[in-house]
Structure 1
Amino acid sequence: MAKNKKRRSGGGSGGKKKTQQQRKGQPRPAASPPAPAPAASSPALWGVGLALLLLSVAASLMLVLQSLGNLSLPGCGPASACGRATSSVWGSVPGLGWPLSHVGLAYFLGIAAAWIVSGGRLPAALRWIVRLSAVGSIGLIIVMIVGGYLCPYCLAVHLANLAFVGLLELKFTGQPMRPALRPIGALVGVFVIATGILAAVQTREAQAVEERDEDALSQSTDAIIEGGGEDAGFTGRYHYGPEAAPVRVVIISDYQCPDCKNVESELRQILATRDDVSFSAKHFPFCTECNWKAREHNMNPHPNACWAARAAEAAGILGGDEGFWKMHHWLFDRSGSFTQAELQQALPTLGFDYTTFVETMGSPETLARVEADINQAVELGLRQTPMVFINGVELTGWRARNALTRAVDRVAATNPPPLTADADRPPSALQKGVNDWLAQPKRTLPSDGSGWAWGPEDPAVDIVVWGDHLEPFSIELDRRLRAVAESAPDVRYAFRPYPFDKACNENMQPRSPQHDGACDAAKAVEAAGRLAGLEASWAMHTWIVENPRSFSLDAAQRKARELGIDPSRFATLVASPEVAATLTEDIAAPRPLGLRGVPFLFVNGRQVPFWRLKGEPLVERIVEVARGGEAG
């Protein structure tokens, strides 16, 4: 056995040496050619995939900026499809309240980073995440279609995402990147960093909004304690609580309005714990079926709100105070939405006969009552619901935490006497417009490099407006402000250009109205001033705003000749870099102030939130108040 083992061992050693010698004497085989690049490495397809991801990033970013209040997207106001989509239950992560647009932006940034790192060869784990995102996009598109709020920006996000997933599944069939840690790390890292930044910005914005709401709440509560205005007898048709009460709450609301439901919920707790508060309700349904103001603005965000309001009025007609409040609570509990079958099932439990109730609800009387409330709300300057009044004075800042409860507590602590609604005196829409201006913070406006303001150097009233020389509302406001400035020697007025013309304004928002020639109009005013002084600048400005449809550079040259300006020098200066630079400064100046559209008006450093009130001289009244020393 030992000999055999040794022989096998020796033979093995010798064989090993022989094999090594044979390998040394033989040429090594040539290296095999590289395998063909996987489909994912195609530069063109990789670029298409990245472009689709960046499109989703861009659309998500616009929605994020809109939600933070830093950007006003066209067609994305609170009552629009976009606004209703982002404010719906599907607009945020359930249980967290974190906006879905924030999640989308962080996700698409992360996937874009993973796409770049992997050269388009996403590992299997990320491919499944991408597929799940496609399922989410399809689901959200269906929700938007069924809910009637097909937001174009949301749709752009989801369609770009679906196109990316389709490209990944159909074209990118190469081997995934190995190891997979780099692209997965890129996704996770970018997602976490982006989410952290968004959380910090969201927190800062929320704090700023909370501070503004707290200031508004404090100021309006002070005004409630001091007393109201002139018109008497402000109340609804039905009352909850004592008729004569120290604290009298009136709320103009919409049964389908989420903010109204929140305020209603807080008020119910107040009424359940206090016996010194009375409440009456008025209607302002944001629905075109009964609201002429909604039809005027083509706003129909709450399609059942009119019938909800008429149902409440029918209950009041048939059941008095008790009947009205039963229906009022039932409607708010279901956010103002009901079908015929649901109404038929609920009416007996509320104490109503179905046939009688439906006949009453559809009668002209209920419509007339709702329309009367709408008209009064417009007269009071309502711009959103809810509109809350305590003892006849509007309570602003109601979004602050427990705002209504705290306001009621402060008012009640002053021991006001129990009074009826005859003592309540809400201000008119005109006075509300003035009050809204007075409530604005005083801002330091960017300096005007041109210096073409009309009026004294040290005015009692300093008016600055950013506008577009060819835009109708800018023209209307300018006409009224020039009339004010011409009749008041202590008023200074400056019209600073913000043309809605892509030829010089890169800050224009998507789908903004384009006013071709507005850049040239602004340059013409600047050139006239540089060549012939202040009066020539205003003469050119006035001629343009009075003839917007016929404006052209040729026409402006002819006007320059009338003003005694050499047309060739004028044309050269209009086209000069110096004038273009001044216009660029004017365009950039109002952005930090929050410009979202034109005209953008300031009086004595305070922004005028609303300057146009049908049939009322609101701007002129604001100037009059400013001349009297208020908000100076």
Structure 2
Amino acid sequence: MSKKKTPRLPAVTPEGKQSQRTRREEMAQLLVDRKRDERRRAIRIQAGIGALVVALVVGITVGVLSTGGEDEPAAVPAGLTESGAVRFGPDDAAVTVRAVEDFQCPACRQFESALGATLAEYRASDDVAVEYVPIAFLDRASTTEYASRALNASMCVLADAGADAWMAMHESLYAQQPSEGGAGLDDRTLASMAVDAGADIDAVGPCITERRYDDWVQEHTDEVMSSGVGSTPTVFVNDEPTQPGDLVAAVDAARS
């Protein structure tokens, strides 16, 4: 038998060794380049995400500041003068009586009881105008901010049905004025009174329960109080402060 010969591997020349080393170096360099490219790509992705997050944060912040930084103006009831009064009488009246009142104020109820008929005569005359400036600074006299709720209810009537209906509501609020320290009339009662005064329940009902003019009530009250009014009723005849008991004499003097 002949011996099986072991195949001989081709000899590696110095040039072959150099070629293998070059390929290994090229592969190593490719690996390094690939890892470097992957790192750069990851950095670019992270940078893009960071920029997007910053943009979103800035956008949200700007949106919040633009909507919440400035308060929206208060809804103002239709039918008021520029000074926030309900006016009866001609614009060119020789005499203007202005009464600042609060529907929770017992002294205002007494004023209306004593001089309501006289004020009605003035409202019907050609030379005397009457302005009512209702405010709400006596919320502390009830447990439900009744002064503000009553004024808001009267403004709901004014906006829906006009000045004559407001006057009917005005008289009803004083006729049914609750005692101080309690809860005051509830919203359902105020809505019923508003309808009796001539307003539409579908209009005044939500207006009363939502306290639609509450912001205006607070702003208006602050403006009137800051003008020098310190109590109610405060009465003026042609912008001159007048004691309620001296009202008729003051009007007669202004007429002459």
TM-score (norm 1): 0.25
SS of 1:463 mapped into structure 2: strand
Question: Pick from 141, 144, 148: which aligns with 1:514?
Answer: 141
SS of 1:620 mapped into structure 2: helix
Q: In the alignment, is residue 499 of structure 1 matched against residue 126 of structure 2?
A: no
Superimposed CA distance per residue, residues 434-460 of structure 1 (whole angstroms, 9 cap, x where no aligned partner): xxxxxxxxxxxx9334x5212222212
Tell me the equivalent position of 1:116. none
Tell me the equivalent position of 1:459. 93
User: 2-side partners of 1:600 and 1:584: how far apart?
Assistant: 18
Question: Pick from 236, 240, 244: which aligns with 1:606?
Answer: 240
1:522 positional shift: 0.7
Across the aligned residues of Structure 1 and Structure 2, the Cα RMSD in angstroms comes to: 2.4
1:497–1:586 CA contact under 8 A, matched in 2: no
Q: In the alignment, is residue 569 of structure 1 matched against residue 200 of structure 2?
A: no
Q: What are the equivalent positions in structure 2 for 1:171-570 lying under 5 Å apart?
A: 447-449=82-84, 451-488=85-122, 489=125, 490-502=127-139, 514-515=141-142, 516-549=145-178, 551-570=185-204
Structure number with greater CO (CA < 8 Å, separation at least 6) is 2
Q: How many residues align?
A: 166
2:136–2:218 CA contact under 8 A, matched in 1: no
Q: Which moved more, 1:464-473 or 1:560-569?
A: 560-569
Unmatched 5+ stretches in structure 2: 1-80, 179-183
Q: What are the equivalent positions in structure 2 for 1:48-67 lying under 5 Å apart?
A: none
1:575 positional shift: 4.3
1:578 positional shift: 4.8
Q: In the alignment, is residue 595 of structure 1 matched against residue 234 of structure 2?
A: no
User: 1-side partners of 2:120 and 2:244: how far apart?
Assistant: 19
Tell me the equivalent position of 1:620. 248
2:154–2:194 CA contact under 8 A, matched in 1: no
User: 1-side partners of 2:195 and 2:177: how far apart?
Assistant: 19
1:466–1:496 CA contact under 8 A, matched in 2: yes
User: 2-side partners of 1:606 and 1:545: how far apart?
Assistant: 25
1:627 positional shift: 1.7
Percent pairwise identity: 21
Greater Rg over alpha carbons, structure: 2
TM-score (norm 2): 0.57
What amino acid does structure 2 have at the position aligned with 1:571? G
SS of 2:230 mapped into structure 1: coil
Unmatched 5+ stretches in structure 1: 1-445, 503-512, 613-617
User: 1-side partners of 2:219 and 2:112: how far apart?
Assistant: 21
2:108–2:232 CA contact under 8 A, matched in 1: yes
User: 2-side partners of 1:496 and 1:474: how far apart?
Assistant: 12
SS of 1:596 mapped into structure 2: coil
What amino acid does structure 1 have at the position aligned with 2:155? E
1:494 positional shift: 1.9
Superimposed CA distance per residue, residues 331-359 of structure 1 (whole angstroms, 9 cap, x where no aligned partner): xxxxxxxxxxxxxxxxxxxxxxxxxxxxx
Distance 1:478 1:454, change over 3 A: farther
2:89–2:130 CA contact under 8 A, matched in 1: yes
Superimposed CA distance per residue, residues 116-144 of structure 1 (whole angstroms, 9 cap, x where no aligned partner): xxxxxxxxxxxxxxxxxxxxxxxxxxxxx
